Amino acid sequence: MAAKKPVKNEEKIWLKSYPPEIAHEIPELAYSSVAGLLEDACKNYASHPAFTCMGKSIDYATLDEKSKIIGGWLQSKGLQKGDRVAIMMPNILQYTVVLPAILRAGFVVVNVNPLYTPRELEHQLKDSGAKAIFVLENFATTFEQVSSRVDVEHVVVTSMGDMLGGLKGAIVNLVVRKVKKMVPSWNIPGHHSFKSVIGSNHSLKPVNLSHDDVAFLQYTGGTTGVSKGATLTNSNVLSNAAQNDEWLKVIKVPDNPTYICALPLYHIFALTVNMIMGMRLGAHNILIPNPRDIPGFVKELGKYEYNVFPGLNTLFNALMNNEDFQKLDFKTLKLTLGGGMAVQKPVAECWKELTGCNISEGYGLSETSPVATANRFDAKEFSGTIGLPLPSTEISIRDDDGKPVPLGEVGEICIRGPQVMAGYWNRPDATAETMTKDGYFKSGDMGFMNKKGQTKIVDRKKDMILVSGFNVYPNEVEEVAVGHEHILEAAAVGIPDDHSGEVVKLFVVKTDPALTEEDVKNWCKKGLTNYKRPAHVEFRDELPKTNVGKILRRELRDN
């Protein structure tokens, strides 16, 4: 029998699955910088609401005005074009004016997870060389602990209520500080208050920005080692916005759509899809500062008619298990976007049944600005794949030697396109390791491509379990497990075994106290061949997750 021939990249078989409305390549970029795109949005949609948080809204004209003042203030401090400025905030209104301010002033945004430990924060500030930081007072103590060891010259501290208006802001600050005691004591000599900055009268000086100028240092999660900064240029981010724009052509989204912004804006998914793409469309983003408070989140959802809902599997799952969410009206929901982690089929099917809206799963990384592939937005059902490469994007599935594998076989997903980062910040070694000679980014994810050009991601390369020489992909085990009516969440890891090298251990969050280990094993027998079945089952009240909601398999494995 003749060996199967690998599909050549230049064949681009996925293009046959494109609808006629979508171009194969993106047009020439309309802007020279992300700052230019945001400025245009502020001008075009001046009177429209841009962001709402805790019932307080700001329109695009206000966003324009406030960001110019903050940008001018930063310039007045002697920062030079290309200097890095960090933002350490959750989804609050202050974030939405600070980010465009940094870009418009000619500086580089360094997004920081506000839940970072001092060790993680110190690494990121040192690595990026940030000259300034904007931080919510809730997390000021973290910065205080590292302030003497980093070269941050300007610190701006804001409080939760700073942009919510006089009385409301004061009440919110009182509750956060005194009632909920969410602000540990801190002391940062020489810091500036956000109110003093935004109340100043500085003017923004125009800056010439090009496609090659860096816009963001977007740090990888760091769950697999030292966090690295993906260097994203204006061209990278604008290209991804243009690619997403093209992909939207198959559905009708209302003018000035309303987005739910539950995923943190400091994460690349919400940054690009909610803020940059949203502002380009004149969208109204509803900011959710704490999506882990599901009852509070659902209460907020009940106040709005919304059209676009980006989220991830664990968030969708948690919402659907809330009785009040089940009572909401979803008639205006036009697009649900799933990313960040694999969307499980049982979750997708339940979401479609409850909301009437299909989850369109996409795939990407910080290094790809982020979206590399997506399912068609006009698809009527969940495909179980991460979809097709976006316009101007190529996917190559490769073996350990860097050679393309035959269609349908598993290999590493490699990505080439204008949205792929310029490299890792100050890490030529890491950049060389992850970029191929022909310009592909090695994602570290394992998957295969089918005849339609859709890619199925099977798991992270590092999470793969090896049982008696057979590859077991945790996602597959987890998807079978959560199909059980009494299993809320599941995570599969490999643990050492004298007989087979490794066996599967399954961590389970159950909804029925009566569910036993034997019940779980019997259920998995129905959907998994012998070597894939969990040899051990451990029940947990909850599974460890990143702030974005990804399950931390490594933490389960190490403990």
Q: What tens digit of pLDDT does each residue of 380-422 get?
A: 999 999 999 999 999 999 999 999 999 999 999 999 999 999 9
User: What's the total number of domains in the chain?
Assistant: 2
At 146, list the tokens. 């590292």
Residue at 3 is within a domain: no
Residue at 43 is within a domain: no
- List the CATH number of the domain containing 525: 3.30.300.30
**Per-residue model confidence as pLDDT tens digits over 136-189:** 999 999 999 999 999 999 999 999 999 999 999 999 999 999 999 999 999 999
> pLDDT at position 3, please?
45
Residue at 204 is within a domain: yes
- List the CATH number of the domain containing 118: 3.40.50.980
**What is the pLDDT confidence band of residue 4, given thresholds at 50, 70 and 90?**
very low
Residue at 128 is within a domain: yes
Which pTM was predicted?
0.90
Q: At which of 206, 233, 260 does a domain end?
A: 233
Q: Count the alpha carbons within 13 Å of 368 in the hemisphere toward its beta carbon.
A: 30
Residue at 441 is within a domain: no
d(CA 327, CA 475): 30
Q: At which of 208, 233, 258 does a domain end?
A: 233
> pLDDT at position 227, please?
83
Range of the domain at 95: 61-233
Q: Are 396 and 440 in contact (CB under 8 A)?
A: yes
Phi then psi for residue 388, to 5 deg, are -105, 155
Residue at 213 is within a domain: yes
Task: Kindly list the distances between the CA atom of residue 74 and the CA atoms of 109, 126, 292, 308, 416, in Å, as whole numbers in the listed order.
Answer: 13, 20, 33, 34, 36
Q: At which of 175, 203, 233 does a domain end?
A: 233
The dihedral formed by the CA atoms of 350, 355, 358 and 361, expressed in degrees to the nearest 10 = -70
CA 90 to centroid of chain Cα atoms: 13
Three-state DSSP string of 190-239? CCEEHHHHHCCCCCCCCCCCCCCCEEEEEECCCCCCCCCEEEEEHHHHHH
Residue at 252 is within a domain: no
Task: Kindly list the distances between the CA atom of residue 306 and the CA atoms of 70, 256, 335, 376, in Å, as whole numbers in the listed order.
Answer: 30, 11, 10, 20
Residue at 386 is within a domain: no
**Strand 534-539's sheet: what is its strand order?**
487-497, 501-510, 534-539
